Amino acid sequence: MVEVRVGLAKLGNIGTSSMLDLMLDERAEREDIDFRVLCSGPKMRKEDGKELADKLQGFDPDLIIISSPNPSTPGPTAARETVSDLDIPRVIIGDAPGTRIKDDLEKAGFGYLFILADAMIGARREFLDPIEMSLFNADLIKVLSVTGAFRVVQEEIDKIISAEKTGNSYIPQLVVDRDTAISAADFENPYARAKAMAAYEMASKVADLDVEGCFQVHEESKYVPIVASAHEMMRSAANLADEARELEKSEDSVLRKPHADDGDILSKNKLMESLK
């Protein structure tokens, strides 16, 4: 069996990056891929980007993925520049600000997946402590999971891996908006779909509030409630996402698409039916 070597560089944190490698091998049983994941922690300085990209090349990867918030900042830019001449698929995964550089990425031959609902956190010291940070990310991950955003990312990366196994080439160049995500979730209950649509849109607006509270408003008495309201919005979005999945469960119509050992994607809609 052909084994595809996947190198993943994580600079800073977005909801998608925290789950990316796990989504591609959810039971640690795939025999067609091997991973190396390098992370700079919460920081994403220029030297971090270059160092991670240099070290990933020592793994001799068949595919390089670079994930970060706002890919136009110095750290992610340095990582891209370091791997720009490699003749392998290179994919950038980021949040909404990444859409500003998608034309440049296309010209340079990079793939990209920009998830509009992968919202910025309310990073004000007076508000954000480790517990608040953890709760926000838990809510965000639930929204991205249920609404289909994670499925889009997982399936697009799997397409690259499948192409590499057959000697072909594929790179995604996709902005994951509401309709793209919801289509991938493939809800059967129309109310579940509507709740998930609302959750995705709410999460997409959270970043606007957090940008306002973190960068545009400078009085503590004003920016603290702004970022707090953004986190309340994400919590409400997560509750809607939870309600959407519970509706699908109540009708025994939850879509499950696990990986086989050889990387093929299987499927079922009923809890007790066999995988196809």
CATH number at residue 27: 3.40.50.10830
Distance in angstroms (rounded) separating the CA atoms of residues 235 and 105: 33
Torsion of CA 191, 233, 21, 85, to 10 degrees: 110
Whether residue 276 lies inside any domain: the answer is: no
Cβ neighbours of residue 133 under 8 Å, at least 6 residues apart?
Answer: 121
Is the domain of 40 the same as that of 86? Answer: yes
Cβ atoms within 10 Å of 200's Cβ, excluding its own: 29
Whether residue 93 lies inside any domain: the answer is: yes
Is the domain of 169 the same as that of 196? Answer: no
Q: Are 59 and 83 in contact (CB under 8 A)?
A: no
pLDDT in tens, the chain (276 residues): 789 999 999 999 999 999 999 999 999 999 999 999 999 999 999 999 999 999 999 999 999 999 999 999 999 999 999 999 999 999 999 999 999 999 999 999 999 999 999 999 999 999 999 999 999 999 999 999 999 999 999 999 999 999 999 999 999 999 999 999 999 999 999 999 999 999 999 999 999 999 999 999 999 999 999 999 999 999 999 999 999 999 999 999 999 999 999 999 999 999 999 999
Q: Are 189 and 255 in contact (CB under 8 A)?
A: no
pLDDT at residue 270, as a whole number: 98
Is the domain of 190 the same as that of 118? Answer: no
Is the domain of 123 the same as that of 222? Answer: no
Is the domain of 37 the same as that of 83? Answer: yes
What's the total number of domains in the chain? Answer: 2
Whether residue 53 lies inside any domain: the answer is: yes
Boundary residue ending a domain (181, 201, 226): 181
Whether residue 72 lies inside any domain: the answer is: yes
pLDDT at residue 123, as a whole number: 97
Predicted TM-score of the model (pTM): 0.96
Is the domain of 100 the same as that of 206? Answer: no
Whether residue 239 lies inside any domain: the answer is: yes
Q: Are 39 and 13 in contact (CB under 8 A)?
A: no
Whether residue 197 lies inside any domain: the answer is: yes
Is the domain of 33 the same as that of 91? Answer: yes
Whether residue 142 lies inside any domain: the answer is: no
Is the domain of 22 the same as that of 121? Answer: yes
Task: Please state the length of the chain.
Answer: 276
202-218 burial string, b = 16+ CB within 10 Å, else e? bbbbbbebbbbbbeebe
Is the domain of 95 the same as that of 176? Answer: yes
Task: Of 24, 238, 267, give the one whose Cα is nearest residue 144.
Answer: 238
Is the domain of 163 the same as that of 192? Answer: no
Strands (E) located in the chain: 4-10, 33-39, 63-67, 90-94, 111-115, 173-176
Q: Are 199 and 240 in contact (CB under 8 A)?
A: yes
Is the domain of 61 the same as that of 173? Answer: yes
Range of the domain at 17: 4-128+147-181
Whether residue 238 lies inside any domain: the answer is: yes
Is the domain of 119 the same as that of 205? Answer: no
